[in-house]
Amino acid sequence: MAKEVFMPKLSSTMEVGTLLQWLKEEGDSVEVGEPLFEIMTDKINIEVESYEDGVLLKKYNQVDDEVPVNAVIAYIGEENEEVPDEAPQGENQEDSGGDSDNDEEVTQVSTNKEETSEESDGKVRATPAARRVARENDLTLSSINGSGPKGRVHEKDVTTSLETKDGRLITPLAEKVAADNGLNLDEIQGTGSRGKITKSDVLGHVSSGTAESEEPERIKLKGLRKAVADKMLASARSIPHVTLTTDVDMTKVIEVRKALLPVIEEQTGYRLSYTEIIMKATAHVLGNHPTVNASLVDNEIVMNKSVNLGLAVAIDNGLIVPSVPAVQSQGLAELTVNSKTLGKKARNGKLTPDEMTGSTFTISNLGMYAIDGFTPIINPPETAILGVGRITEKAVVVDGSIEVKPMMVLSLSFDHRAIDGAPAAAFLTELKERLENPYGLLV
């Protein structure tokens, strides 16, 4: 009997997954454990393995489709085994990727009053997939003739309405922009599904110099970018942030790095950076200030025993924070290997869910840019985050004399519900002292 392949739920916040690529085609043999497709969740890109042996009989979704979790996206079974032409619906929900004629059966659980209300409100009967495609292409459902029961609009009805007279696919907005600029559609290469011409394709053609347009580019907030946006907004709204800053003389840290750089590089193959030294110092000081290494969960302050440092890594479409566990027990060589490895995996979208959870304190380092100080946003349920600025030479007063020193700004944002100003200031003061006298970290 054919087995369904579902869109997996890989995190507690995941609601949809974006299909990046199929690693198998219909008719291909599949073994248990073989990668079947790759998806982008709200946090990572990950290959999904097959749980069945057999033949990939049917694929219901295409590349770039956003598919709800637990939706059926394919079938695996015996060769030539019959499977539905359209994606079946999950129990008590609308379809999640196809536009099956069985949609009407699910809507029959609604009362007559609800159905009447739907029609009297002027709403068009349509499958979720049809609504998604229409929304993405700026189409009005009322202008599309539905082929389903009672005129219900299916995804294929919406797709058909996108076709131009010569059989090419183009969104209505793209067609309008092209017409406004007097463009020949034959000269425009579509990058959408099945070569569909989108608004961005037309604008790209316009910006190449073949025409002029004032139409701005619009990028949909989705995937990782949307997940980051939602999390930052929730943090800023719900957490009373307070930020403290201090200047740190990095003279001796520079000396330590210069001395250890060739040693650690020869031992590990990785170059020691200031980030690892700051991480080591932070973990050491957090051991003396457990309230700053705490988490706030369900109105309880959880005093974490281990120092697991989240390391913010910027990637093309957002920000991702892998967790380096038990930093307090690692030497600089081991810490360099672990942080560099996790950073590389983050940029390549290869982090596992376990490598992205469990951090108790986060460090956000913008020292590679011309940034002195900033206000970092807390990564809940953590209660504090450390912002690191660049190292730059500044004139400072030392024993009544003006000297030029390599200075760095540290910015500590903390959750004032869990941490008061005095203990936060005490932590930042000790961290400053430790970085200005870093040799104690080597003992």
CATH code (residue 203): 4.10.320.10
pLDDT greater than 50 at residue 376: yes
Q: Are residues 403 and 304 in the same domain?
A: yes
The answer to whether residue 274 sits within a structural domain is yes
Which ranges of 327-396 does DSSP label H, i.e. alpha helix?
Answer: 332-347
The answer to whether residue 412 sits within a structural domain is yes
Angle between helices 251-268 and 332-347 (to 10 degrees): 80
Among candidate residues 28, 85, 230, 420, the one labeled active-site is: 420
pLDDT exceeding 90 applies to what percent of the chain?
44
pLDDT greater than 70 at residue 225: yes
Q: Are residues 138 and 75 in the same domain?
A: no
The pLDDT, as a whole number, for residue 193 is 59
The answer to whether residue 116 sits within a structural domain is no
Residues 189-197: what's their mean pLDDT? 70
Q: Are residues 413 and 304 in the same domain?
A: yes
Q: Name the residue with higher pLDDT: 51 or 419.
A: 419
Q: Give me the residues paired with residue 241 across strands.
A: 415
Residue 138 among the catalytic residues = no
CATH number, domain of 405, equals: 3.30.559.10
Strands of 361-365's sheet in order across: 241-249, 401-415, 384-398, 361-365, 309-311, 323-324
The answer to whether residue 117 sits within a structural domain is no
Is residue 247 within 8 A of residue 408, CB to CB? The reply is yes
The answer to whether residue 219 sits within a structural domain is no
108 pLDDT band, cuts 50/70/90, is: very low
Look at residues 83, 105, 140 and tell me which one is the last residue of a structural domain.
83
The answer to whether residue 108 sits within a structural domain is no
The answer to whether residue 402 sits within a structural domain is yes
Q: Are residues 197 and 234 in the same domain?
A: no
The answer to whether residue 175 sits within a structural domain is yes
The pLDDT, as a whole number, for residue 318 is 76
Whole domain around residue 299: which residue ranges?
A: 225-442
Q: Are residues 190 and 242 in the same domain?
A: no
Among candidate residues 53, 101, 247, 416, the one labeled active-site is: 416
Q: Is 397 exposed, middle or buried (0-12, 13-18, 19+ CB in 10 A)?
A: exposed
Q: Are residues 294 and 337 in the same domain?
A: yes
CATH number, domain of 50, equals: 2.40.50.100
Look at residues 159, 187, 210 and tell me which one is the last residue of a structural domain.
210
Phi-psi region of 326 (alpha: psi -120 to 50; beta: other; left: phi over 0): left
Residues 26-33: what's their mean pLDDT? 89
Look at residues 161, 186, 210 and tell me which one is the last residue of a structural domain.
210
Q: How many domains does the chain have?
A: 3
pLDDT greater than 80 at residue 308: yes
Q: Name the residue with higher pLDDT: 392 or 216.
A: 392
Question: What does the block give as tokens for 245?
Answer: 């800053």
Q: Name the residue with higher pLDDT: 55 or 162.
A: 55
Residues 6+ apart with CB under 8 A from 166: none
Q: Are residues 389 and 265 in the same domain?
A: yes
Q: Are residues 393 and 260 in the same domain?
A: yes
pLDDT tens readout for residues 144-184: 777 777 777 777 777 777 665 455 677 767 777 777 777 77
The pLDDT, as a whole number, for residue 303 is 95
User: Which is nearest to 89 in space by CA: 147, 32, 4, 164?
Assistant: 4
Q: Is 380 exposed, middle or buried (0-12, 13-18, 19+ CB in 10 A)?
A: middle
Looking at residue 115, its amino acid is E
112 pLDDT band, cuts 50/70/90, is: very low
122 pLDDT band, cuts 50/70/90, is: very low
pLDDT tens readout for residues 346-358: 888 888 888 888 9
Question: Looking at 187-191, 259-263, 355-359, 376-380, which range is the least confident one?
Answer: 187-191
The pLDDT, as a whole number, for residue 111 is 33
Q: Are residues 266 and 338 in the same domain?
A: yes
Residues 406-424: what's their mean pLDDT? 96
The pLDDT, as a whole number, for residue 14 is 77
Residues 251-280: what's their mean pLDDT? 95
Question: What does the block give as tokens for 407?
Answer: 């200075």
- 132 vs 191: CA distance, rounded Å: 18
Q: Are residues 146 and 199 in the same domain?
A: yes
Which ranges of 128-219 does DSSP label H, i.e. alpha helix?
Answer: 128-136, 155-161, 172-180, 199-205
pLDDT greater than 60 at residue 257: yes
Q: Are residues 296 and 423 in the same domain?
A: yes
The pLDDT, as a whole number, for residue 181 is 76
- 359 vs 397: CA distance, rounded Å: 38
* Residue 48: CB atoms within 10 Å: 19
99 pLDDT band, cuts 50/70/90, is: very low
323 pLDDT band, cuts 50/70/90, is: very high
Q: Are residues 394 and 262 in the same domain?
A: yes
Angle between helices 251-268 and 274-286 (to 10 degrees): 110
Instruction: Note the pTM of the prediction, 2 decimals.
Output: 0.60
- 133 vs 309: CA distance, rounded Å: 41
* Residue 411: CB atoms within 10 Å: 21
Residue 420 among the catalytic residues = yes
